Chain A
Amino acid sequence: MPEIREKAEAARGKQAPYGEDIDLTAYEQSVSVYGDDPNLERLSEEEKNHVLEVGIDVAKTDRTGSFFLKGHSPVQCTVGQAGVELLPIAEALKKYGGLEKYWWQAVDVGSDKYTAQAEIALHSGYFLRVKAGTQACFPVQACLYLSEEGISQNLHNLVIAEEGAEVHIITGCTTAPHLKKGLHIGVTEVYVEKGATVTSTMLHNWGEDVVVRPRTAVWVEQGGTYMSNYVCLKPAKSVQMYPSVRLKGENAVARLNTILVASRGAMLDVGGKVSLEAKGAKAEIISRTITTGGKIISRGMLIGQVPNIKAHLECSGLILSDEGQIHAIPELDGWVSGVEMSHEAAVGKISQEEIEYLMARGLTEQEATALIVRGFLNVKMEGLPAELQQEIEKMIMESEESFL
């Protein structure tokens, strides 16, 4: 597809509208090649525990499929249910002759230098297709693992849920233990066809000097549902992402939940955009952010293009350190009458009244603060497997240590 390549070449140096500009040449493009490891036996115990923290179960208990990308090598790609297809992206492109109907359709390859890089120097990614009417019994997991110091990962993932299909994808993105520097570019295009449901839970646990530039776009057709949960509670140097969802069909639904903790030195520019383009469409964007010294820009945008749509946006931020900053930017854009969109945004400290109320029950100030923060981050995420919920709760508990 030469026109795609041309567009990418033209955008090679194009700065993204948000986030600090990254020098892509500062990261290593060539890395070690790892052979197939279908049972991940070559991972050390430390590595296994590390990936478990981002929801990746090496034993694949209660997983319909599992994809493991080590550096640039898809070392594992297995699936255990008919109707669910999981392939390394290169294989899928070969098998389906370029996947023209989907490839770079939801995401514009010319968006910025990161999308361009993902086209020009594609390393890997996964392809997940759930065939019409198939409901994946368990989540499909994908681990995107930065295995070496200072490398770049340029990935392109494609998810297709055909008519009436249902799937939950758990994406765990992490660096090898003790590794600090790296760049992760991840283009993800998600196509939710008529009446299908896709839930995507993404957990990030990066090294403290890692730069992350996901580029996600989702199309949802009639009666389809897309739910996203994004959790990033560990230090990362710079994350900038602004996933966009187009509700193209009638009664399509999108729900985006984000919970973030920015520690000192982190710069997290994270948001979500939903465009409601057909009647009966519904959207909800909820973000809960905490800074313990880092900077957070929490964006949210709802675009109501047709009447009879309903959408709500909620950005709440807690500033737990004077060094931190939270900039909430909720936006509503209504094009016609008959749209029903609202937002609430609040940024501040923990209310003294709440702390003292709990202290009157005998809790110390620290214990009270911890309970309130835990409650604050406790966003209801639907369809989450119990052990993943526990993992998230554990991460929340651990993140408490950074501010108590």
Chain B
Amino acid sequence: MLLEIKDLTVEVAGRVVLRDINIAIDYGETHILFGKNGSGKTSLLMTIMGFSGYKVTAGSIHFKGEDITNLPIHERAQRGIGMSFQRPPTIRGLKTHDLIRTFGRNDFDVDQIVDNLEFSTFLDRDINLGFSGGEIKKSELVQLSLQNPDLILLDEPESGVDLENIKVIGRGIKRLLQKNLHRQRTKSGLVITHTGLILNYLEADNGYLLLDGVIRCDGNPREMFESIQSTGYEECARCQR
């Protein structure tokens, strides 16, 4: 198992935001998180990444067999977890190319990655400063591609992106998750989506419905999405398959 979350309960500022979460993602699998705003989806990704403010009060997170529940963020990143943020901060004065230079990826064709994501004109700009929704997502994917993680956490990769750019981003994610490979695929994903648009670009193996910090359902992500679309989140949770 690449990622194994067991009985995880998390508090933010003394309030429980996730309760008894159990998720297991194997190598090469992509799982989808559904749920309405405030249901705890982003909190789950932030907890896996190790952000401060997300206090694990029970349960554990194992990555590649190692307990990472208390590891600092950068050590998780160095072990192969990467995240695309929904609303990343702006860092004034820091150019995107200066950041990606620190990744030391001499083994990668950086230009190709940047071109594929149509991002070359942004490398010289301050990170996320004045970026549109689509530009933010592309910036995140460029960084992630060079970081080359094994587990990719994507927080609403399609939000705020126009229809033309969603193709570029969708293809970028597909490449990241090695969707072109079949047997030898090792990259895994955990993806938050509201619109489901991203499902058009990647075959997902499993879906979860989060409501009020609790996983209320899991199953085939396409079927779940269709059910949510036709009957809403509450109804989908009620079916109690």
Contacts and interface: CB of A to CB of B under 8 A. Distances in A.
Q: Do A and B bind each other?
A: yes
Interface of A: 351-354, 356-365, 367-368, 371-372, 374-379
Interface stretch (B87-95, B172-180, B195-203, B205-213): B87-95
Contact of B74 (A354, A364, A372): A364
Interface in B126-182: 126, 143, 147
Given A359-B74, A375-B98, 14 more contacts: A354-B91, A356-B51, A357-B88, A357-B91, A361-B143, A361-B147, A363-B102, A368-B74, A371-B91, A372-B91, A372-B94, A374-B98, A376-B93, A378-B94
Given A361-B147, A364-B74, A354 B93 contact: no
Given A359-B72, A361-B147, A362-B77, A371 B92 contact: no
Interface in B85-113: 85, 88-89, 91-95, 98-99, 102-103
Contacts of B98: 371, 374-375
Contacts of A360: 49, 51, 73-74, 77, 82-83, 85
Interface string B38-53: 0000000000010110
A360 B51 CA distance: 9
Chain B CB within 10 Å — which of A351, A356, A363, A379 has the most? A356
Contacts of A367: 102
Most chain A beta-carbon neighbours within 10 Å: one of B49, B51, B74: B74
Contacts of B95: 375
B99 A371 contact: yes
Per CB-CB distance, the 4 closest pairs between chain A and chain B, nearest first, are A375-B93, A375-B94, A378-B93, A362-B77
Given A359-B72, A363-B102, A367-B102, A374 B77 contact: no
Contacts of B74: 359-360, 362-365, 368
A367 B93 CA distance: 15
A375 B77 contact: no
Chain A interface, >50% SS class:
helix
Interface residues of B, number: 25
11 contacts: A356-B51, A356-B52, A356-B73, A359-B74, A360-B51, A360-B73, A360-B85, A361-B77, A361-B102, A372-B91, A375-B92
A4 B140 CA distance: 63
B52 A352 contact: yes
B120 interface: no
Interface of B is mostly: mixed
B229 interface: no
A353 B90 CA distance: 10
Nearest to B85: A357
Nearest to A370: B102
Given A361-B77, A362-B77, A371 B94 contact: yes
Interface in B10-30: none
Contacts of A378: 93-94
Contacts of A363: 74, 102
A30 B147 CA distance: 62
A361 B99 contact: yes
B78 interface: yes
Contacts of B143: 361
Given A359-B74, A360-B73, A361-B147, A371 B102 contact: yes
A352 B51 CA distance: 10
B132 to A, nearest CB: 19
Contacts of B49: 360
Contacts of B88: 357
B94 A374 contact: yes
Nearest to A376: B93
A353 B88 CA distance: 9
A188 B10 CA distance: 62
Nearest to B87: A353
B94 A359 contact: no
A361 B51 CA distance: 12
A372 B88 CA distance: 14
Contacts of B78: 362
A375 B73 contact: no
Contacts of B94: 371-372, 374-375, 378
B77 to A, nearest CB: 4
Contacts of A353: 89
A376 B92 contact: yes
Nearest to B126: A375
Contacts of A377: 93
Contacts of B92: 375-376
A367 B72 CA distance: 14
B83 A354 contact: no
A367 B126 CA distance: 18
B81 to A, nearest CB: 8
A322 B51 CA distance: 24
Contacts of A357: 85, 88-89, 91
B185 to A, nearest CB: 23
A360 B78 CA distance: 9
A379 B51 CA distance: 30
B89 A362 contact: no
Contacts of B99: 358, 361, 371
